[in-house]
């Protein structure tokens, strides 16, 4: 023992070629014991590799506004060897609830799925109902829908940018992103009456016409956003820490995207310009001039750049909406479908105005009964089934509706992009560092309200 101590203190080496320690490497009932001194960490770790892996739970928590998500990660050191997502903590049963409400009332449920893109859910649902009915919303209503969808797209991408920045420690990105999102929500509140969960897009059109003088308010919004969006390039795009944190992270090539059914900015970041507004146009999108940005990098940084560019393209579309919008009805003329076609805002900002109620009650008793039955029982939809997809901020959002000819849906099923895209998390994260899992999730931008519907 004295000899070993002397060897260690004097730095002499024994026959093994390394400094002698108090005890040699050995097997015990608790596993192998390693003795590490000086610069032989690498050799020791080579011996220990695959010896033991740990499993940690990341969550269930509410990271930013994505929703309540739990990740089960198997780690080897700081490297993720296996990743699994556990969902269901935010389950609401919205699809099933729609079967117990009229076709119009279903709008108030679906708008709460992806709560960052409520108008996308409303539009896709109503387009599916209208396809079953064999009707089409008036031109003015379609232009209004497009304008609202693009304002909503900007607000959704701003949340993706802001929360992603917050999760990675870029607090200024978070404060700036939510500052701009407030501009979007203020505008949506002015146009529809609510900041979120609007239930404004209805089967046959929209709930009511735009307020007087809305064009100037929208132009002011576009002007503000044109001024502020370039600030994100100054703040983040060329920032070395931001680039190093995202470049090469969450890599998912185009063949993997297609195999997993991934759509939206993730698919476009892999080089495929698949945007349903261009490939399968709806609401007259074929008449709007805009670009579909793509990249070949297929990483988190490319997805960030695409979302910033998509906001610029949305502003282009909003400007075109202001030029296209013309006087006309905002709801189909069919009185058996169109409620509330002539809804007016009361003094409290909600519901029917007193003048509108007096007008209904001042007409014939039959008109009053018809109005009551239309609101309480709903309209009948011919039997059949349809699938209608649109391009939400997260990808392909599709509604599969089944009608048995009644006043309520027989089945409502949603192809929700967050649910499908979340499947790419293991492919993006396994083999990378545990810290990069956060960046990968942020680049997917899942909303758990849609996943757990």
Q: Which domains does the chain have, with CATH numbers?
A: 1-49 (no CATH), 94-339+378-451 (1.10.645.10)
Residues 210-250 pLDDT 10s? 988 899 999 999 999 999 999 988 889 888 999 999 999 99
Q: Given this model, what pLDDT does residue 305 score? A: 94
Instruction: Tell if the pTM clears 0.75, that is, is over it.
Output: yes
Instruction: Tell me which of 401 and 372 has the higher pLDDT.
Output: 401
Maximum CA extent, the chain: 112
Say what the pLDDT of residue 15 is. Answer: 47
Cβ burial, residue 372 (10 Å; 0-12/13-18/19+) = exposed
**What are the tens digits of pLDDT across the range 55-110?**
888 877 665 456 788 888 888 888 898 888 888 888 889 999 999 999 999 999 99
Query: What pLDDT does residue 69 have?
Result: 87
The DSSP string of 27-56 is EETTEEE----TT-HHHHHHHHTTS--EEE
Q: In this model, does residue 416 exceed pLDDT 90?
A: yes
| Distance between CA atoms of residues 6 and 9, nearest Å | 5
Q: What is the pLDDT of residues 299-349, one digit of tens each?
A: 999 999 999 999 999 999 999 999 999 999 888 888 778 764 454 555 555
Burial of 409 (0-12, 13-18, 19+ CB in 10 A): buried
Residue 9 has pLDDT above 50, yes or no: no
Least trusted range by pLDDT, from 29-38, 61-70, 278-287: 29-38
Distance in angstroms (rounded) separating the CA atoms of residues 217 and 190: 9
Average pLDDT along the chain: 84
Position 12 pLDDT exceeds 80:
no
State the DSSP string of 269-328.
HTT----HHHHS--TTGGGS-------S--SHHHHHHHHHHHHHHHHHHHHHHHHH--SS
What's the pLDDT band for 276 if we cut at 50, 70, 90?
very high
Q: Is the pLDDT of residue 414 over 90?
A: yes
Q: Is the pLDDT of residue 297 over 80?
A: yes
Integer CA distances (angstroms), 374 to 163, 336, 344, in order: 43, 7, 17
Q: Is 212 exposed, middle or buried (0-12, 13-18, 19+ CB in 10 A)?
A: exposed
Burial class (CB in 10 A: 0-12, 13-18, 19+), 201: buried
129 or 6, which is more confident? Answer: 129
Above pLDDT 90, what percent of the chain? 54
The whole-angstrom separation of Cα 48 and Cα 364 is 87
End-to-end CA distance of the chain: 68
- Per-residue pLDDT of 336-383, as tens digits, reads 787 644 545 555 555 566 666 676 666 667 767 777 888 888 888 999
Write the secondary structure of 135-159 as one string of H (helix), E (strand) and C (coil): CCCCHHHHHHHHHHHHHHHHHHHHH
Place of tokens 């909503």: 152
DSSP 329: -
Angle CA 353–357–360, to nearest 5: 140
Check residue 316 and give its pLDDT: 95
CB 453 within 8 A of CB 109: no
């Amino acid at each position: 023992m004295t000899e070993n101590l002397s060897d260690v203190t004097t730095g002499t080496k024994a026959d093994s070629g390394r400094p002698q320690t108090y005890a040699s490497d050995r097997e015990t009932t608790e596993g192998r014991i390693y003795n590490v001194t000086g610069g032989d960490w690498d050799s020791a770790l080579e011996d220990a590799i695959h010896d033991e892996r740990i499993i940690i739970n990341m969550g269930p928590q509410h990271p930013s506004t994505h929703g309540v998500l739990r990740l089960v990660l198997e780690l080897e050191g700081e490297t993720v060897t296996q990743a699994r997502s556990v969902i269901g903590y935010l389950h609401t049963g919205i699809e099933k609830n729609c079967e117990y409400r009229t076709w119009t009332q279903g709008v108030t449920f679906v708008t709460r799925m992806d709560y960052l893109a409520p108008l996308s859910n409303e539009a896709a649902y109503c387009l599916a109902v209208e396809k079953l009915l064999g009707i089409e919303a008036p031109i003015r209503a379609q232009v209004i829908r497009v304008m609202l969808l693009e304002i909503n797209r900007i607000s959704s991408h701003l949340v993706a940018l802001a929360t992603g920045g917050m999760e990675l420690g870029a607090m200024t990105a978070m404060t700036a992103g939510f500052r701009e999102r407030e501009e979007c929500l203020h505008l949506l509140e002015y146009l529809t009456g609510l900041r979120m969960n609007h239930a404004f897009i209805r089967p046959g059109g929209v709930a009511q016409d735009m307020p007087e003088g809305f064009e100037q308010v929208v132009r002011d919004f576009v002007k503000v956003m044109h001024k502020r969006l370039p600030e994100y390039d100054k703040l983040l795009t060329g920032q070395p820490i931001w680039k190093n944190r995202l470049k090469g992270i969450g890599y998912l090539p185009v063949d993997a995207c297609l195999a997993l059914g991934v759509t939206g900015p993730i698919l476009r970041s892999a080089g495929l310009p698949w945007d349903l507004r261009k490939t399968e146009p709806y609401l007259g999108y074929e008449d709007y001039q805009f670009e579909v940005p793509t990249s070949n990098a297929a990483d988190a940084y490319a997805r960030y750049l695409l979302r910033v560019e998509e906001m610029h393209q949305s502003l282009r579309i909003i400007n075109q909406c202001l030029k296209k919008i013309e006087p006309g009805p905002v709801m189909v003329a069919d009185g058996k479908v169109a409620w509330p076609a002539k809804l007016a805002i009361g003094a409290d900002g909600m519901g029917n105005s007193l003048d509108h109620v007096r007008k209904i009650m001042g007409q014939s008793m039959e008109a009053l009964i018809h109005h009551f039955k239309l609101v309480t029982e709903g309209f009948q939809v011919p039997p059949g089934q349809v699938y209608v997809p649109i391009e939400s901020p997260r990808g392909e959002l599709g509604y599969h509706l089944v009608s048995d000819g009644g006043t309520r849906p027989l089945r409502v099923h949603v192809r929700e992009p967050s649910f499908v895209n979340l499947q790419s998390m293991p492919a993006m994260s396994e083999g990378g560092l545990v810290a990069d899992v956060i960046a990968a999730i942020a680049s997917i931008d899942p909303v758990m309200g849609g996943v757990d519907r």
